[in-house]
Amino acid sequence: MTYSLSPSPAEVREHARSGKLRGHTSGMCPGHVQANVLILPAQYAADFRRLCVRNPVSCPLLAESVPGNKGFPDGVADGGDITTDVPGYKVYRDGKVVEEEVADVRAYWQEDSVAFLIGCSFTFEDALEDSGLRVRHIEERRNVPMYATRIPLMPSGVFSGNTVVSMRPYSAENVERVRAVTRPYVRTHGEPIAWGWDALDKLGIADINRPEYGDAPVIRDGEVPVFWACGVTPQLVVLNSNIEGVVIGHAPGKMLCLDWRVEDILAE
């Protein structure tokens, strides 16, 4: 048996299913798309779909399941099961957290559950690395830091709330290159939404060293924080929107790895 530095997306899903993988997925499956997961009762699917249409930077919708179907459209995650293939899940009931993190959600899946896959910024991290723009949390083998902000989403039906951001530090002179490299990734959050130390005030981030999700950042002298919209946003929206029934998300940073290749979702 050979040891592989880069397991395929199918292997990562298999490892999540068997319990071998319980950590975050940053840096895994270079060249492939990673996805945030949100599973909702069918009665909220139309409002949520429109929330994604109205907020494509925070909530870039990649795919939506048929109600009750745990599988995926052909080519997305072949042989996969949405209730077992994510390394960690978070479960909400009636708008409150009931499981902070759990290994599978077979017991929570409902007959009318609908799964949404939302683009994840991990998808563009190997493009940054290939451009010599090293991604700090990968270097440091940490999860990306994520912060709640005061930037409101455009509401849709029952759903409203603020966007969540992920942060990667870069030297100020590299910010324009960082913007350019990530710009074509429109289906995985695209270019940053704010950057520089001034951005903390604009976004309403009180303490850069205390992210709401993920690991604390490592920022070196002369670097500035660069913020991208983050697919954890829908989970904060769920908490904000008083909806009824079981809602399931991924544990922040622990994504579903898709068979889709990056070039399949790049904009011109």
Instruction: Give me the residues that bind a copy of itself (CB under 8 A), please.
Output: 50, 53-57, 151-152, 154-157, 179, 183, 186, 190-194, 202, 229, 267
- For residue 196, the minimal CB distance to a copy of itself (Å) is 12
Specify which residues 171 forms β-bridges with. Answer: 223
57 vs 127, which CB is nearer to a copy of itself?
57
167 vs 251, which CB is nearer to a copy of itself?
167
93 vs 202, which CB is nearer to a copy of itself?
202
- For residue 47, the minimal CB distance to a copy of itself (Å) is 9
Q: Are 44 and 116 in contact (CB under 8 A)?
A: no
54 vs 177, which CB is nearer to a copy of itself?
54
Q: Which residue has the tokens 């563009």?
A: 124
Q: For residue 209, give Cα distances in angstroms to 3, 154, 217, 231.
A: 36, 28, 6, 20
Tokens at 248, concatenated: 């399931």
- For residue 131, the minimal CB distance to a copy of itself (Å) is 18
Mapping DSSP onto H, E and C, the string for the chain reads CCCCCCCCHHHHHHHHHHCCCCCCCCCCCCCEEEEEEEEEEHHHHHHHHHHHHHCCCCCCEEEECCCCCCCCCCCCCCCCCCCCCCCCEEEEECCEEEEEEECCCCCCCCCCEEEEEEECHHHHHHHHHHCCCCCHHHHCCCCCCEEEEEEECCCECCECCEEEEEEEEEEHHHHHHHHHHHCCCHHHCCCCCEECCCHHHHHCCCCCCCCCECCCCCCCCCEEEEEEEECCHHHHHHHHCCCCCEEEEECCCCCEEEEEEHHHCCCC
9 vs 190, which CB is nearer to a copy of itself?
190
- For residue 48, the minimal CB distance to a copy of itself (Å) is 13
- For residue 240, the minimal CB distance to a copy of itself (Å) is 14
- For residue 97, the minimal CB distance to a copy of itself (Å) is 26
109 vs 159, which CB is nearer to a copy of itself?
159
- For residue 154, the minimal CB distance to a copy of itself (Å) is 4
169 vs 192, which CB is nearer to a copy of itself?
192
